[in-house]
Amino acid sequence: MSIITIERKVLQKNDEVARRNRALFFSHGTFAINLVSSPGSGKTSILERTLQQLKGELKVAVIEGDIQTDLDARRIASLGAPVVQIVTNGSCHLEAKLVEDALSNLDLAQVQLLIIENVGNLVCPANYDLGEAVKVVVASTTEGDDKPLKYPAMFRNATVLMINKIDLLPYVDCNLEQLKKNALSINPGLTIFETSCVTKEGLEGWCAWLRSKMIFVGRS
């Protein structure tokens, strides 16, 4: 019982900070997404392709979460986007306070779209609100089609599912229709994109969805 109480207090404190973050995003008209997945799904590659496709259209900034290195942040910085690195030193998820601290290094008045790339993990990030507008979960075809059933909380809390690496479907044991069926059985409201960072298939639909959110936050 004490463990449950401690966990509840930690999450309550996190939610308080998340509310501050959300209010800050709203006041600046910044649309923030929390990009989550298991390791190796292609989150950073999707992020790179997204930045390339939206360059010159939207003002995008990135917060990079990683357990140890800043390798992903350097990849993103090379594309010219403002990026802030959070190294968690072993923690398997980002928390709202870490994001709040990172925001002090960004001028949100110049950011229409903020992408927070979370640590590769489908368990802990499901419980931690960062103040984002939506969670976007990435599942790759190389992981099989049962990920939603194994990690239902993440898929239940997500708004968007990106099924990545569809170019590998002929070579992996993954039934695309079954994957979508499993995901929708957990969360019937999911918006689903099928993408490949190699062929660029599906990325324009994803970017069109992001552009549409600029109307939501009152930015053009």
Q: In whole angstroms, give the CA distance from residue 16 to residue 13.
A: 5
Q: In whole angstroms, give the CA distance from residue 156 to residue 154.
A: 5
Task: Determine the length of the chain.
Answer: 220
| Count of domains forming the chain | 1
Do residues 183 and 161 lie in contact, with contact meaning Cβ atoms separated by under 8 Å?
yes
Any domain includes 220: no
The CATH number of whichever domain residue 164 belongs to comes to 3.40.50.300
3-state secondary structure of 56: coil
Half-sphere exposure of 78 (CA within 13 A, CB side): 11
- pLDDT tens string, the chain, 220 residues long: the values are 344 454 567 789 999 999 999 999 999 999 999 999 999 999 999 999 999 999 999 999 999 998 766 677 788 888 889 999 998 876 788 999 999 999 999 999 999 999 999 998 999 899 899 999 999 999 999 999 999 999 999 999 999 999 999 999 999 999 999 999 999 999 999 999 999 999 999 999 999 999 999 865 544 4
Token output for 10? 């930690």
Domain that holds residue 10: 2-215
The pTM score is 0.91
Any domain includes 129: yes
Any domain includes 96: yes
Any domain includes 82: yes
- Helix axes of 203-216 and 43-54: crossing angle, nearest 10 degrees: 70
Any domain includes 179: yes
Backbone angles phi, psi at 42, to 5 degrees: 105, 20
